Structure 1
Amino acid sequence: MTKARTAILISGRGSNMMALVEAARAADFPANIVCVLSNKADAKGLAFAAANGIATKVIDNTAYPTREAYDAAIDAYLRSKDVEAVALAGFMRVLSADFIAGWDGRIINIHPSILPAYKGLHTHERAIAEGAKVAGCSVHMVTPELDGGPVLMQAEVPVLPGDTPDTLAARVLKEEHKIYPQALAWLANRIIEERE
């Protein structure tokens, strides 16, 4: 079995990227992380990727006149690395419809809420403000609708009395690190089956 060649896109510390890289160490994990790309040169996750022998690339979005031009540069790089699957792990850019269409069915994202609740940013603050009893995370296919693609996997955590956005985020993040590798394995296996 040839593993599915996977790229991870990050903008910050990349803790979900780290969880995927750790999972991919297993001989039977169906995805091979071939590159980590960031829109920010100071993204802390890049150092972790490089230290683990993974190719890193910075493509600065501020250097491009439009979202489409920027996304075309990402697309060209991913295709130069023969990437088959894309995992967004805290990549703080909304991707263009053209980019998403080019990777249809091969790009996934992790979002810190039980979708369809709390799409977009500030999910934990909003959950606490609204008195939600349960929070969590979702892995979904990426479509042009923000955080709107089919959900592959979810995990729940209780919202506890006295929770702050930070304490809730920390509990949710532990679940993110569990379900994201499972979802990537599912996608990678699907790609391998299609290929064969």
Structure 2
Amino acid sequence: MPRADILTDATRGLSLVPTAGVPAFAILASGRGSNAEALMNAFAAGRIRARLVGVIANVDGAEVLNKAIACGVPTRLIAHKGLKREEHEEKLFAVLNALGAEHLLLAGYMRVLSPWLLSRFRGRIVNIHPSLLPEFPGLHGAERQFRAKRSVVGATVHYVNNGVDTGEVILQGSIEPRGDEDEQTLVRRILFEVEHVIYARAVRLVVERLGVTDAS
């Protein structure tokens, strides 16, 4: 069985304004969409008391779009190539508005959001990072945990702010490395045994803090 030890639930310290009705989430992703698919499955199974209104990719041909289509989730491609960041984010914001998205879930979204876009979803953007923050922020967090020979490794779900992986922690999960596993194996275990488990749990916590008790 996957093991994800809950280390931190920081949502109790946040002041979120309850929303009327069921909150609407959109997923932003850039690649394969492994975490995005786990989230889509959680929404479809009713484990998250909220609506998933769309999956948006910024890379043409991103596999996540095919996974979303297979799950019956609306998809949008807002390619960033050839656009200035301001132009791309204006297009993205317009699509999010059209979908009715109130909250954003970053799942392998390889773009740094500008202060302009952050301000429009302040306190309503969530990301997952493959390390036990505050250790190893930025790129290749899982690999850096392996190379540092930590006795416990894991992942963090956190709110997004203007820094790099510095937002308020919502939930963390951990596993212990096995003595005989290589870097690639550990990275995959962090993804499948921790990230896929805690992201949906963290979104459930966020929804609960919004005062939602009934998905109907």
- What TM-score, normalized to structure 2? 0.83
Provide the rounded CA distance (Å) in 2 between the counterparts of 1:161 and 1:62.
Answer: 43
Which of these residues, 38, 46, 64, is aligned with residue 19 of structure 1? 38
Provide the rounded CA distance (Å) in 1 between the counterparts of 2:47 and 2:134.
Answer: 32
Equivalent residue, structure 1, for 2:166: 148
Which of these residues, 70, 75, 100, is aligned with residue 56 of structure 1? 75
Equivalent residue, structure 1, for 2:203: 184
> Between the two proteins, what is the percent identity of the paired residues?
37
Higher RCO, Cα 8 Å, sep 6+: 2
Equivalent residue, structure 1, for 2:62: 43
Provide the rounded CA distance (Å) in 1 between the counterparts of 2:75 and 2:45.
Answer: 21
C-alpha change, 1:121 and 1:27, in structure 2 (3 Å) is closer
Q: CA deviation at 1:9?
A: 0.6
Residue 111 in 1 paired to residue 138 in 2?
A: no
> Larger % of strand: which?
1
Provide the rounded CA distance (Å) in 2 between the counterparts of 1:119 and 1:88.
Answer: 15
Equivalent residue, structure 1, for 2:114: 96
Provide the rounded CA distance (Å) in 2 between the counterparts of 1:38 and 1:28.
Answer: 24
Structure 1: runs of 5 or more not aligned: none
Misfit runs of 4+, over 3 Å: 189-193
Q: Contact 1:4 / 1:192 at 8 angstroms: preserved in 2? A: no
Provide the rounded CA distance (Å) in 1 between the counterparts of 2:103 and 2:36.
Answer: 14
Equivalent residue, structure 2, for 1:121: 139
Q: Contact 2:130 / 2:190 at 8 angstroms: preserved in 1? A: yes
C-alpha change, 1:34 and 1:158, in structure 2 (3 Å) is same
Provide the rounded CA distance (Å) in 2 between the counterparts of 1:164 and 1:69.
Answer: 42
Provide the rounded CA distance (Å) in 2 between the counterparts of 1:60 and 1:17.
Answer: 18
- What TM-score, normalized to structure 1? 0.91
Provide the rounded CA distance (Å) in 2 between the counterparts of 1:189 and 1:81.
Answer: 22
Residue 75 in 1 paired to residue 100 in 2?
A: no
Which of these residues, 141, 150, 172, is aligned with residue 132 of structure 1? 150
Structure 2: runs of 5 or more not aligned: 1-19
Q: CA deviation at 1:192?
A: 5.1
Q: SS of the counterpart of 2:145?
A: helix
